[in-house]
Structure 1
Amino acid sequence: MGTSWSEYGSYLVLVVLLVIAPGPDTMVMLKNSLSSGGRGGLASISGIASGNILNGSAAALGLGALVAQSQTLFTVLRWFGVAYLCYLGVQALRAAWRGEYGGDVGAARRSGGFRCFREGFLSNVTNPKVLVMYLSVLPQFIDPAQTSIAEALLLANTVGVLGAIWLLLLLFVVRRARVWLNRRHVRRSMDALTGTALVGFGAALAS
């Protein structure tokens, strides 16, 4: 095995620190869990995990480096990500401004599973910083002469698995607090917070 278990343990510690840091994926999941309930949150997590698996596998197989080295492709992906994060952020801010909430959290839009999956997936795959993260971290734990493709894929997809587990824990907390979150002023505040954060992440990605 190219990567020892001790090295894998160090890798796990680093990955845990990376996945618990708030980012666009976390904000998208929170936004959709508030607007579309637990199903929306789960759909978002599935989309985010799928994006992580795609990014991680591409990096492990060497395809990610090709994207990062292509200035045109990287720039197009970055600006698409900027536009999409800002779009999601403005949606949340508009909801906060209108304050039109009724019934239980997500009761009005439980059928938007595919939309939530799509938003989670696109927020991940259109963020080139995710790919750069994989390309920056993986080489530190991979020995090209000894590490097999299977081992490289294991390391890469560990990020997606742990990231999904972390988001599931956050979703559990949100669902446990649904009575409190159902209060109109709380939901407006949460929409305003997630919307501002998403626009901020978009601006940071543009810089």
Structure 2
Amino acid sequence: MSVTALLAFTATALLLTITPGLDTMMLLRMVLGGGRRAGVVGGFGTTLGCVVWGAASVAGLTALLVASRLAYDVLRWAGALYLLWLGGSALWRSWRGRTVADDVPAPRVTPRQALRTGFTTNLLNPKIGVFYLSLLPQFLPVDGGTTAWAVLLVGIHVGLGQVWQLVVVWLAGRAAVVLTRPRVKEWTERLTASVLIGFGLKVAFDSSARG
């Protein structure tokens, strides 16, 4: 594998990593609900989900998602329903909070909950597996030794993702003074919950990512 191919993959992975998406929105909600610690732990959860998908891709297991429409659709709908549940329950809590006493503290996101949410969200996203299965072969050598290089490429992508998540958590923490003001937090929570519902609907009805 040439240095040029390695740099090309790194640049591609970096671009895909820093593009705002579901992970960024999840981290923002975790920081708002539980502070930087919850955001950092939640980021580790999403990274762990990518590690599982990466390992499955190297082992060839995610080929099932491409070969089987049923397997892909089952996982896709499970992920969509999970996102819809996260977004819907957050919206319900936000609107219901307007009818309860102001001195009742809002439920906080614990590090354990953040870890579980980050991990489950990525694990139920079949597009991550399809991403690895479709992108990695384009950067692997054709003269053997593909397993070691595949592990390296997955490691690069996972490492970039983890670093970027820490940056997002730090930035969100810096903005927490503004974002945690009651009215701002209320509308930010509703906005992020609505985006999660949008992602859920997109995952449910967009099957074009299947190779």
The equivalent residue for 1:123 is 121
CA change 1:182–1:58 in 2 (3 A) is same
Matches within 5 A, 1:129-168: 129-168=127-166
Question: 2:78, 2:124 within 8 Å by CA — same for their partners in 1?
Answer: yes
Matches within 5 A, 1:24-39: 24-39=22-37
The equivalent residue for 1:17 is 15
| Offset, 1:29 | 1.5
**Pair 1:76 & 2:74 matched:** yes
The separation in 2 between residues aligned to 1:43 and 1:69, in whole angstroms, is 34
1:85 to 61, 64, 83: 83
**Aligned Cα RMSD in Å?**
2.1
Question: 2:47, 2:162 within 8 Å by CA — same for their partners in 1?
Answer: yes
Number of aligned positions between the proteins: 202
Structure 2 counterpart of 1:187, which letter?
A: K
Three-state SS of the structure 2 residue aligned to 1:143 is: coil
Moved over 4 A (4+): 99-103
**Pair 1:62 & 2:55 matched:** no
The separation in 2 between residues aligned to 1:154 and 1:102, in whole angstroms, is 51
| Offset, 1:143 | 2.7
The separation in 2 between residues aligned to 1:23 and 1:175, in whole angstroms, is 19
The equivalent residue for 2:203 is 205
Question: 2:87, 2:197 within 8 Å by CA — same for their partners in 1?
Answer: yes
- Unaligned residue ranges in structure 1 (runs of 5+): none
- Unaligned residue ranges in structure 2 (runs of 5+): 206-211
The separation in 2 between residues aligned to 1:21 and 1:102, in whole angstroms, is 37
Per the normalisation by structure 2, the TM-score is: 0.88
Deviates more, 1:42-51 or 1:25-34: 25-34
Three-state SS of the structure 2 residue aligned to 1:109 is: coil
Per the normalisation by structure 1, the TM-score is: 0.89
Question: 1:95, 1:188 within 8 Å by CA — same for their partners in 2?
Answer: no
What is the percentage of aligned positions where both structures have the same residue? 36
| Offset, 1:179 | 1.2
Q: Spell out, residue by residue over 1:37-78, the C-alpha distance to the aligned partner (whole angstroms, 9 max, x if none).
A: 112111110110000011112112211112332222211111
1:182 to 163, 176, 180: 180
The separation in 1 between residues aligned to 2:183 and 2:4, in whole angstroms, is 48
The separation in 1 between residues aligned to 2:138 and 2:101, in whole angstroms, is 48
Structure 1 counterpart of 2:85, which letter?
A: Y
Three-state SS of the structure 2 residue aligned to 1:146 is: coil
